[in-house]
Amino acid sequence: MLQENNTRERINELTHEIQKQNAPFQAIVEQVNHVLVGQEKLVHRMLIGLLANGHLLIEGVPGLAKTTAVASLAKAINTGFQRLQFTPDLLPADLIGTQVYRPQDQTFVVQKGPIFSNLILADEINRAPAKVQSALLEAMQERQVTIGGETFPLDNPFLVMATQNPVEQEGTYQLPEAQTDRFMLKVIVDYPNRDEEIRILQRMSRTSAKFDIQPVTTPAEILAARELIDEIYVDAKVQNYVVDLVMATRNPEAYGLPLSELIQFGGSPRATINLTLAAKANAFLAGRGYVTPADVKEIALDVLRHRIMVTYEAEAEERTSESIVTEILNHVVAP
């Protein structure tokens, strides 16, 4: 009983502190909404990635403001930002940097590439060849870059937000599974509804549509928020729920789901970690010092959809990883 009272008291203190420190992130939403229309989910997921120290993969057809969303977020944070346009002829050195020979000193010096920033927009990431993807892997996972045998740590916070078009086009490369697994979230951006389209028309149909976005937070506030997120309470029942969801992608028969012939590979332990961190960040944005099953369920599809590889049988039945995850979420009982 004493331990329960102490836990409850700590949660209340944490909730009070979170409600004070999440104000800048609510202000980010207001600033970004000066430009975007009808992309509340995308903005919310970008904030979760920022707070949970996880990268985002944003997928949608051209013209849905994916690039604008990331650029607007960067402007709302007083921090470094680099936009990288990925193309088939891009080289790893164009991304991470290279060694340059100085004839006057007869020495090589390191010239750092644009990856050395806080927020990285990897635009149309699926246009980059395999060597560039490999160079990006180390940066995303290890938060460091190796140039000429020398290792350089990247800035903190460091976040990659990558966009890709789902339409197969000439000059695109499928992202390797090892790379997609490095992304905490994969967010699907859909078309706006009719009312949103009218608002977009009224706001953007001018030859010089300029919007002034003010920086409302700093890297120091982001790092302080991450420290609070680490303290957010996750009950044992919620932990079991997270594990059950991920385990159901690997062994669905154990949970009464006839999906084994449709799933080639399920979620890895990285999925369990990312789902927990994303749920904590969701609780932070809601002003709570504890995670609820609803936090987990709300974010689970974006965490798991790109971590499940479907079989040929699933493709023949026109089943996608998204539909399989949705079936798991509907079947596994939340506490």
* Burial 103-138, CB ≥16 within 10 A → b, else e: eeeeeeeeeebebbbbbbbbbbbbbbbeebbebbeb
Angle between helices 23-32 and 40-52 (to 10 degrees): 140
Residues 261 and 317 in one domain: yes
Residue 86 lies in a domain: yes
Residue 216 lies in a domain: no
CA nearest neighbour of 22 among 298, 222, 184? 222
Contact 155, 80 (CB under 8 A): yes
DSSP for 246-294, written as a single string: HHHHH-GGGGT---TTTEEE---HHHHHHHHHHHHHHHHHTT-SB--HH
303: CB partners within 8 A, 6+ apart:
184, 185, 271, 274, 275, 278
**Amino acid 170: pLDDT:** 58
Residues 236 and 310 in one domain: yes
| Residue 14 confidence (pLDDT) above 80 | yes
Distance, C-alpha 259 to centroid of its chain: 27
CA torsion 279→284→285→291, rounded to 10°?
40
**Amino acid 56: pLDDT:** 93
CA nearest neighbour of 270 among 145, 156, 141? 141
Where among 162, 193, 224 does a domain terminate? 193
Each residue's pLDDT tens digit, 69-93: 888 888 888 888 888 888 888 888 8
**Amino acid 48: pLDDT:** 95
Each residue's pLDDT tens digit, 229-286: 999 999 999 999 999 999 999 999 999 888 889 888 889 999 999 999 999 999 999 9
Residue 163 lies in a domain: yes
Residue 224 lies in a domain: no
Give 162's strand partners.
57, 122
- Tally of domains in the chain: 2
* pTM for the predicted model, two decimal places: 0.90
Give the residue carrying structure tokens 């890297």: 219
Q: Is 173 left (phi over 0), alpha (psi -120 to 50) or beta?
A: beta
**Amino acid 291: pLDDT:** 95
Residues 247 and 315 in one domain: yes
Angle between helices 236-250 and 269-285 (to 10 degrees): 140
Each residue's pLDDT tens digit, 173-232: 777 777 788 899 999 988 888 998 898 888 878 777 677 788 888 888 999 999 999 999
The Cα–Cα gap between 330 and 320 comes to 16
H or E element that contains 99: strand 97-102
Kindly report the CATH number assigned to the domain that includes residue 266. Answer: 1.10.8.80
Residue 214 lies in a domain: no
Residue 157, preceding peptide bond in cis (omega within 30° of 0): yes
Each residue's pLDDT tens digit, 130-146: 788 878 878 888 888 88
Q: What is the dihedral sign for C-alpha 45, 47, 51, 55?
A: positive
Residue 151 lies in a domain: yes
Residue 304 lies in a domain: yes
- On the CB side of 275, how many CA atoms lie within 13 Å of its CA? 30
**Amino acid 290: pLDDT:** 93
Q: How far is CA 191 from CA 32, 42, 64, 65, 66, in A?
A: 18, 12, 7, 10, 11
Each residue's pLDDT tens digit, 145-154: 888 778 888 8
Contact 255, 243 (CB under 8 A): no
Each residue's pLDDT tens digit, 279-330: 999 999 999 999 999 999 999 999 999 999 888 998 888 888 999 999 999 9
| Residue 37 structural domain | 2-193
For strand 107-112 and strand 150-153, is the pairing parallel, antiparallel, or unpaired? unpaired
Residues 177 and 65 in one domain: yes
The Cα–Cα gap between 132 and 86 comes to 9
Where among 193, 219, 250 does a domain terminate? 193
Which pair of tokens denotes residue 131? Answer: 């060597």
**Amino acid 237: pLDDT:** 95
Residues 164 and 251 in one domain: no
